A and B are shown apart, each in its own frame.
Chain A
Amino acid sequence: MSQPIRDKARELLQTGKVNCVIGYERATDGITARPLFVYDVRDVDRLIFDRTCVHNLSRYLRDRRDKMTAIVAKPCDARAINMLLNEQQLDRQKLFIIGVVCQGVNERCWGQTDTRQQVRCQWCRQHVPPVYDFLVGEKPADEPPPAGFPDIEEFEKKSPAERRAFWEEQYRACIRCNACRHSCPGCYCQECFAENLDPAWVGIRIAPAESQIWNLVRAFHLSGRCVDCGACEQACPVNIPLMLLNRKLQKDGIKFFGFEPGLSAEAVPPFATFKKDESPGGEG
């Protein structure tokens, strides 16, 4: 799939349609992938695409809002672009989306060849980007499996005490580097609530109580917005299963509001609207 991306990138740069193509290249371990910014046609042959290309590159678009940019986007990355368009964070006219058909990507493990497919990809039914200007790869013929959240359902079966114990251990592990936030396309606030000094919602102490409020509120701020791209979990240096939190919110978003973020550029996010006669989540 790399060659058509290179050809398109070359054409876009040569014709001056864009001045930068954001894609992937091989990382220094020779195995995994890393983001690549191509400004010069001489570099287009460095572009690649395969199952190691895990990053959600749409995260970089906020740094290039006013510049013509082409971006390689997997289905979940394209959903993030839609989400950002829903929230008036991007100008579609400045964007050229090279969509790639995706059958799932692997865990990012530096230097390791025998990595598994990411858990979220098992239940993904979005193999074709919901938005693109140019599509790379064959549209799959098979009916995709229905979306589901078996991982979340499994976790919900635990008792409250078990769930609490599980997360408290994760809060202890968290070193509050904020990589989850910085890897996320949805976390574009100029100043995050966690950086507010007065009141200091999240103190600087790297301790479970502060990590709890950080992790819960971070995830909740992405409710109705998280596109299931897994960037946060792939970045986390202490392997906190952040997608459990995010996917729980996705599951409830569908159940309560019938909403899945990023499927359309014209969608109204669930917290920007309401129905007068609804009872989300049921009574009690």
Chain B
Amino acid sequence: MVTAYQPRIIGFLCNWCSYAGADLAGTSRISYPGNIRIIRVPCSARVDPLFIVKAFQYGADGVLVAGCHPGDCHYSEGNYHTRRRLALLRSFLDFTGIERERVRLEWVSASEGRRWSQVVTDFTAQVAALGPRVK
């Protein structure tokens, strides 16, 4: 039997918006690919770029960071900082051969269960298309 390649994806979700959004997707029985392993963080700004590099070192094929929409951060401005950091990190990792498409930053609110499902589905397909990171 031939099994399609299943990428391993790590998701860092902010506690206030995106984690609640993912929860809503669950309670609303909206399905999405099970490739993602979710790590809850207090704010998307808690995601030290080091976590992302470490996830790749441990064999992740993609990393998704999700937080509150701009303006909605529980801590006022954490997600603006995340946006800056991740922009630079994606470009930097791409430079070292970890394609920028393997890292994604998304805004998902607590009410966007459906959007969460869409984001995960899209990202999983995108990472799957790149193939395994470690060949």
Which residues of A are interface residues toward B (Cβ below 8 A)? 152, 155-156, 160-168, 193, 201, 209, 212-213, 216-217, 219-220, 223-224, 245, 248-249, 252-253, 256-257, 270-271, 274-276, 278, 280-281
Closest CB in chain A relative to B47 CB, distance in Å: 13
How far apart are the CA atoms of A271 and B49 in the complex, in Å?
12
How far apart are the CA atoms of A168 and B49 in the complex, in Å?
20
Interface string of B40-71 (1 = CB under 8 A from A): 00000000011001100100000000000011
How far apart are the CA atoms of A217 and B54 in the complex, in Å?
10
> With a CB–CB cut-off of 8 A, which chain B residues contact A252?
88, 91-92
Closest CB in chain A relative to B83 CB, distance in Å: 7
Which residues of B are interface residues toward A (Cβ below 8 A)? 49-50, 53-54, 57, 70-71, 77, 80-81, 83-85, 87-99
Interface Cβ pair total, 8 Å cutoff:
86
Picked from A161, A245, A281, the residue with its CB within 8 Å of the CB of B88 is: A281
A271 touches B91 (CB 8 A): no
How far apart are the CA atoms of A165 and B70 in the complex, in Å?
37
Assuming the contacts A212-B57, A271-B85, A276-B71, asked whether A193 and B96 have C-beta atoms less than 8 A apart, the reply is: no
Max chain A C-beta neighbours (<10 A), residue from B53, B54, B88, B90: B88
Which B residue sits closest to A193, measured CB to CB?
A: B50
How far apart are the CA atoms of A113 and B50 in the complex, in Å?
41
Closest CB in chain A relative to B58 CB, distance in Å: 9
Assuming the contacts A257-B84, A270-B84, A271-B85, asked whether A216 and B93 have C-beta atoms less than 8 A apart, the reply is: yes
B81 touches A248 (CB 8 A): no
A248 touches B95 (CB 8 A): yes
Assuming the contacts A201-B50, A212-B57, asked whether A276 and B94 have C-beta atoms less than 8 A apart, the reply is: no
> With a CB–CB cut-off of 8 A, which chain A residues contact B89?
220
Picked from B49, B84, B97, the residue with its CB within 8 Å of the CB of A220 is: B49
A223 touches B88 (CB 8 A): yes
Picked from A164, A213, A270, the residue with its CB within 8 Å of the CB of B57 is: A213
Picked from B70, B85, B88, the residue with its CB within 8 Å of the CB of A276 is: B70
How far apart are the CA atoms of A209 and B134 in the complex, in Å?
11
Closest CB in chain A relative to B97 CB, distance in Å: 3
Closest CB in chain B relative to A226 CB, distance in Å: 12
B87 touches A245 (CB 8 A): no
Q: List 25 A-B contacts (CB under 8 A).
A: A152-B95, A160-B98, A163-B97, A164-B97, A168-B97, A201-B50, A201-B54, A209-B57, A212-B53, A213-B57, A216-B92, A217-B50, A220-B88, A224-B88, A248-B91, A252-B91, A256-B88, A256-B91, A271-B84, A271-B85, A278-B83, A280-B84, A280-B88, A281-B88, A281-B90
> With a CB–CB cut-off of 8 A, which chain B residues contact A271?
81, 84-85
User: Which 6 A-B residue pairings sit nearest by Cβ, starting from the closest?
Assistant: A164-B97, A281-B87, A280-B87, A274-B80, A163-B97, A167-B96
Closest CB in chain B relative to A88 CB, distance in Å: 19
Which A residue sits closest to B79, measured CB to CB?
A: A274
